[in-house]
Chains A and B, each alone.
Chain A
Amino acid sequence: MRRLLAGAAALLAALLASTTPAAACAGLIGPNGAVNLLRTTTFAGYHDGVEHYVTSFQFAGGSGQFGSLVPLPGVPAEVIRGGDWTLQRLVRETEVLAKRGAFPLASAASAQDAVVLQQVRIDALDITILKGGGDAVGRWATEHGFRLPPDAPEVLDFYAARSPIFMAAVFDADAAKARGQKIGDGTPVHLAIPTSAPWVPLRILGLGKSAQDRVDADVYLLTDARPQMLPAPIGLNGMRIGHSAAATASLLNDLSSDKGMGWVPSSAWLTKVVIDGSAAQLKYDLAISATAAAPSPVAAGLESPSIPVPVRSELPALAVFAISGLSLVALGGVLLLRSPNHRTANG
């Protein structure tokens, strides 16, 4: 799947090669611990202080349950079934254009249990929004059958130090089959997350991978203006700009007509960030600002927060967002084998 745009044909090829369920934003950890790389695609928009994140979980056959843990910058106000064509339309838009042209980590809540904030069932997908420190979320995941890789404790703490909110998604392949879902059918999920500090979690994409393993992902950003990013995608750091231009009217019209996408503004800037690096390179996230203010090094994971980051469960004053303008954030995720027995091949 290297160097391929995540078009329908490429995605289908990847799914056919796999016998397990796959998420659009995932690295898959198989029962033998091997990691199968799939190119991933995510989209999120930030408008009026609300981040809209859309990803899709693809049914690729097989049976059993698979899960995904996704760090979030805030508590979702809404978790709904996503639109039917948003991700595909974004891929098509940028394909056409392309042819033309370590710090100390805090885990304040580690001694407490994770708190379940929301639970939503979407098709064959069970979504749980969790609040807690890395230790608490890790324990919750383990107790609920997630088999976490050895780097999970450090990675979960890395995220929890900035935002102790996570989404756990469990895809039930048996339920998908019972529902009549065919291989390749996707379940799009759309989260609306109030936040004033958008960031793209890239480090989570390397979860469970060895240092030299590749991470491939396409992250679509839609902002009011051309965004500043930290670190800047310069290619040498495992990410590069694949597309950067004013969003076309036809794209905005198509996006806004999809389910739950009425928030899409009448003008915006479309950026595609291609993640193409080793897991060892992706030790940071992608902070974004569409204003004159520079992106936050704390949001990028390059600096430790000086004080614990509050959990934003409500929209702050609208004035904050009036000067923030629009920016866009996409969220990473990782697919983890979910099994009642945590061990499969140890001594």
Chain B
Amino acid sequence: MALVTTLFVTGACAPAAPRRIEIRIHYSKFEPSTIQVPAGVPVTFVIRNDDPIDHEWLIGDAAFHARHRAGTEPVHGDRPDEVSVPANTTKTTTLTLPAGVYAYICHFPLHEQYGMVGAVTARS
């Protein structure tokens, strides 16, 4: 699945500032674990890891997560839908989501089974 990265354009017709959603990671859980955003609008996700261990925030559809469950990439960070969040750090990413439901999951070993799962619903 390809998520559309927001392009910031300056000028008279610049789009409105992205909406901002804060997600806290605490005790290896996402807070909140369910989010609603408008479809087709840039949304900035601020992901704060309050744990002393590393986590990641990967958002996508079922096929996307199936790939990552078997993946071997050591770190993420170069893609807006795949964010590595080291211990006690905050990362920010901006996405424009087409209408639909997307899961966000930490695919570190045992983390998804422990409950590091959330869902974003993008409504038109």
Contacts and interface: CB of A to CB of B under 8 A. Distances in A.
A345 B109 CA distance: 6
B69 interface: yes
Contacts of A346: 56, 68, 71-73, 107-109
B69 A135 contact: no
A142 B74 contact: no
Q: DSSP majority for the A interface?
A: loop
Contact of A347 (B53, B71, B87, B88): B71
Contacts of A152: 52-53
Contacts of A347: 58, 65, 67-73, 82, 107
A329 B107 CA distance: 38
A232 to B, nearest CB: 29
Q: Which of B27, B52, B58, B111 has the most CB of A within 10 A?
A: B52
B113 interface: yes
Nearest to B65: A347
Contact of A154 (B28, B82, B88, B111): B28
A151 B114 CA distance: 8
A138 B71 contact: no
B111 A150 contact: yes
Contacts of B72: 345-347
B61 interface: no
A32 B109 contact: yes
Interface in B103-124: 106-111, 113-114, 116
Given A33-B110, A138-B51, A346-B73, A150 B116 contact: yes
Interface of A: 32-33, 134-139, 141-142, 147-154, 156-157, 208, 210, 341-347
6 contacts: A32-B109, A142-B52, A150-B114, A343-B54, A346-B73, A346-B107
Interface of B: 26-28, 51-54, 56, 58, 65, 67-75, 82, 87-88, 106-111, 113-114, 116
Among all A-B residue pairs, the 4 with the closest Cβ atoms = A347-B68, A138-B52, A347-B71, A33-B109
